[in-house]
Amino acid sequence: MEKNNQRGFTLLELLISFAIVAFLLLGAAQLTLYSVYAKRVSDCSLESAELASDKLENLKSFSFESQELEEDSYAERIESQKRNDVFLREWMIFDYPGNLKKIEMECYSISCVHRKTRLVLLYSRELGF
C-alpha cells in the first residue's frame, strides 16, 4: 500500500480563497469610499449652515429701519478658510404690513450645489427680533 503524503492546497482551493478575499477587500474599499464621500457632504452642509446662521445673526443686529434691511435680494461669495471651497450666500428681504420683515437665506457650496441650507427669519419691529 502506498500512502499519498502530499500536503498543501490545490489550485482550485487557492483560486476560490483568492476570490473570496478579493470580494471582501472590494466591499471594504467601497464602504471606505462611501464614508469619505458622506463626510465631505456633511462637512459642506455644516459649514453652509454656519455661514447662513452667522449672516442672519449679523442682520438681526441692525435696526428695523436700517439700510441693510431694505427690501431686495442680495448675494455674496465666500471663500472658506476651513476647506478649500467657495460658498454662495443669497438672501431676500420682504417687507410685510404690520411692522414685519421676512428674511430668506440660502447658502451652499459650489462643489455641493445639491445640498443647500435654507433659513427663514421673521423680524418684528415691536419684538426687536
pLDDT tens, position by position, 12-24: 889 999 999 999 9
**Domain spans of the chain?**
11-124
pLDDT in tens, 30-45: 999 999 999 999 999 9
Tens-digit pLDDT profile for residues 48-100: 999 999 999 999 999 989 999 999 999 999 998 888 899 999 999 999 998 99
Alpha-carbon span 7 to 12, nearest angstrom = 15
User: What pLDDT shows up at residue 3?
Assistant: 62
CATH entry 3.30.1300 includes domain 11-124: yes
Q: What pLDDT, on a 0 to 100 scale, did the predictor assign at position 46?
A: 93
Radius of gyration, alpha carbons of the chain: 29
